């Protein structure tokens, strides 16, 4: 697979994953039953596997090292924060106000990660 195709696959997976998270967050906060269904729990993992695979492919293809490429390290650290916030946002065991705050912060972090990717600066839009 060539670079352009892999990059577009990655960007498409990012868009689908972000949209799915935003929709699941709204639905979860409203108590929609479909959020606890099999498809809503399985599809994001499949999509995120594609996202991770395409990211690793790009890293390998471009021969990038996160420890010598500050913007890539920033994206990886942001990803860990996004995952943690997402876990809090989508778990019904947490208080609704905490879940809402975590969901909103996760979306902000996701936007920041995208801005880091576009700008190739570890500061992104900050």
Residue 74 lies in a domain: yes
Residue 125 lies in a domain: no
pLDDT digits (tens, 9 = 90+) for 101-125: 999 999 999 999 999 999 999 999 9
- In the numeric block, which tokens belong to residue 68? 């010598």
Using a pLDDT cut of 90, give the percent of the chain over it: 97
pLDDT for 1 beyond 90 = no
Identify the pLDDT of residue 98: 97
pLDDT for 17 beyond 90 = yes
pLDDT digits (tens, 9 = 90+) for 43-70: 999 999 999 999 999 999 999 999 999 9
Are 20 and 35 within 8 A, CB to CB? no
Residue 58 lies in a domain: yes
Residue span of the structural domain in which 46 resides: 3-119
Are 14 and 78 within 8 A, CB to CB? no
Residue 69 lies in a domain: yes
Apex 69 CA angle, 66 and 72, nearest 5: 60
C-alpha 16/C-alpha 48 separation (Å) is 9
Across the range 26-44, mean pLDDT stands at 94
What is the number of domains present in the chain? Answer: 1
Residue 126 lies in a domain: no
């Amino acid at each position: 697979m060539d670079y352009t195709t892999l990059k577009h696959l990655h960007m498409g997976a990012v868009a689908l994953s972000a949209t799915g998270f935003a929709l699941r967050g709204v639905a979860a906060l409203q108590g929609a039953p479909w959020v606890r269904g099999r498809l809503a729990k399985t599809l994001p993992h499949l999509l995120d596997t594609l996202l991770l695979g395409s990211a690793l492919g790009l890293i390998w293809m471009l021969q990038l090292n996160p420890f010598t490429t500050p913007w890539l390290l920033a994206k990886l650290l942001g990803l860990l924060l996004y995952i943690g916030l997402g876990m809090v946002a989508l778990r019904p065991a947490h208080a609704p106000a905490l879940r809402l705050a975590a969901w909103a912060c996760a979306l902000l972090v996701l936007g920041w990660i995208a801005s880091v990717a576009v700008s190739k600066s570890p500061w992104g839009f900050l």
